[in-house]
Amino acid sequence: MTTTSSPTACVDAFVACCLAVLRPALIKRVSRSDKEFHFQNWVGDRLDDAGLVHDSAGRNSYPDFTLVHYPEGYEVKGLAWPGREASYDSNSRVPTGMHNGRSIYYIFGRYPAATDDSEYPVVDLVVCHGNFLNADHSYVHKNKSFRGFGSYGDLLVRDRKMYVAPTPFALVTGTTRQVTLIAPGDLDLDGRVEQVGELARVEADNIVVGYTFDLRDNQLTPELAPNPSAGQQHRFSAYRLKGVGSGTVNMTNDLQVDEQLPDGDDE
C-alpha cells in the first residue's frame, strides 16, 4: 500500500485551484510562443491564493514549485483540449511521488486548444499524487554517452531518455469537466473535500531493468526481470470540493488505457 505520513498542503492547493476554476480565474497567455508556462503561471497564482509560500528554481527545474513550510512539491502539466491528453512527454524525468525528501503532486489542467484569445479558462483539472503515476522512488535518471561512432570514430552518441507517461485523464473516468484530487488512500483529509472514488493501481509482473539498441537495424530491445513487488496494490482516493461537481471517479481498465497510449517513437 502507498503510504505518506508527512503533513500535506494538497487540500489547500486543490481548493484554491477549484475555486479559481469556478470563478473563473483565466489563464493568461504571455505570448504566442508560450506553449507551456501560461498554465504554470496560473498554478503559481493559485498557490499564492492558498497562502502557500513556494520557491520556483526555474523553468527547467523539478518540481516546478517547492513549498517552503511543507515537505511537498508540485509539478505542472498543461494539456490543450481537445488534443493529446492521454499521455505526456517527460524529458529526462521519470514521474514519481517522492523527490529529494518531498512528496510530489502533479497538477494536470486542460484548456481550450482552438482559441486565439489571450485569456481562456481551465476546462478541468486533476491534482494527483505522483505515486499514482509511478510508485518507484529508487530509479535515478542519468544521461550517458560514448564516443567512437561514425566512419572516423569521433562522433559522440548520447543516450538522453524521454519517458512517456499516462495522465489521470487516461487512467480514470469521471474527471471530464470536473476538478478532482487523487491522494494516497491513507491520508486523512479535512472536511472541505468529499470522497468520490476509491482507486487502486497494481504493480506489474515484470519490470524493465535495461535495454539495448542495435545500430544496424534500429531495434530497441528491453531487458525484463521479475518484479519483487508484483501484484502489490497501491490505493488512492479521489476527492472533490464538498458540494461541487458530480459523479464518481473510477479506474479505467487496462485495455482502454493501452488503446489511448502511443505505441512508440515514430520519428
Average per-residue pLDDT for the chain: 89
Average pLDDT over residues 122-136: 96
Distance CA 195, CA 184 (A): 12
User: Which of 191, 1, 188 has its CA nearest to residue 97?
Assistant: 1
pLDDT tens profile 152-206: 899 999 998 889 999 999 999 999 999 999 999 999 999 999 999 999 999 999 9
pLDDT number for residue 58: 66
**pLDDT at position 266 over 60:** no
pLDDT number for residue 106: 97
Average pLDDT over residues 238-243: 96
**pLDDT at position 226 over 80:** yes
The beta-carbon contacts of 252-261 under 8 Å, at least 24 apart in sequence, are 252/170, 252/171, 252/172, 252/173, 257/86, 257/166, 257/170, 257/171, 260/86, 260/87, 260/166, 260/170, 261/86, 261/87, 261/164, 261/166, 261/170
* % of the chain exceeding 90 in pLDDT: 71
**pLDDT at position 225 over 70:** yes
Backbone CA torsion sign across 43, 45, 51, 57: positive
**pLDDT at position 3 over 50:** no
pLDDT band at 90 (very low <50, low <70, confident <90, very high): confident
Is the overall model pTM greater than 0.95, yes or no? Answer: no
pLDDT band at 207 (very low <50, low <70, confident <90, very high): very high
pLDDT band at 267 (very low <50, low <70, confident <90, very high): very low
